[in-house]
Amino acid sequence: MKYSRLAMLLFTASLAPTGTFAAEQAQVTQTQQQAPNVAEFDKQMVQAQDTFKKMQAQMEKIQQTQDPQQRQKLLQEHWSAMQNAMSMMNGMWGPGMMGRGHMMGGSHKMGWHDYANMTPEQQSQRQYMMDRYTGMQQMMMDNMMKHQNYMQGQPPTKPGQ
């Protein structure tokens, strides 16, 4: 009887996953959760590019107008467009997109250690998305600087002047 209980316990224990297997399964699950969704990212990039085109057209109108009241109205529309673009950009950092959280607002949750848990394909996808996102950040900064210059009553200078 004593041996049959011990045999049953050993048999049951042999069927249960080992600590190493459980850790591997957790790592696989974590990697699957971090897998970038490039198709969704590209879809959002198209929307962001449309927003930036709209912002560029607004900036061109601001540059052309001579009426201070009209310029203020256009600057307000441009400000709203920038806020929408920033919200869209923050949304691109949601789960399954570029990371588990977003990097804005002090909640930097995507670190270098995350790359160790990714497959080479996932790393490549993440890098592609980061490269595209960085370009979008630069466009946003350019728009913010132009907007700020106009708010201060100074039209932005052209590069090389």
For residues 109 and 97, give the distance between their C-alpha atoms in angstroms, rounded to a whole number: 13
| pLDDT of the residue at 61 | 93
The pLDDT tens digits for 16-57 are: 555 544 555 455 444 454 566 888 889 999 999 999 999 999
Determine if the pTM surpasses 0.75.
no
Q: Identity (one letter) of the amino acid at 83?
A: Q
∠ at Cα 109 (39, 18), nearest 5°? 90
- Tell me which long-range contacts 87-91 makes (C-beta under 8 A, separation of at least 24): 88/44, 88/47, 88/48, 88/51, 89/48, 89/133, 89/136, 89/137, 89/140, 91/44
Asked if 96 and 33 count as a contact pair (C-beta separation under 8 A), the reply is yes
Using the structure block, give the residue that is written with the tokens 């607004």.
58
The pLDDT tens digits for 63-105 are: 898 898 999 999 999 999 999 888 888 888 655 554 444 444 4
For residues 103 and 90, give the distance between their C-alpha atoms in angstroms, rounded to a whole number: 8
Asked if 81 and 136 count as a contact pair (C-beta separation under 8 A), the reply is no
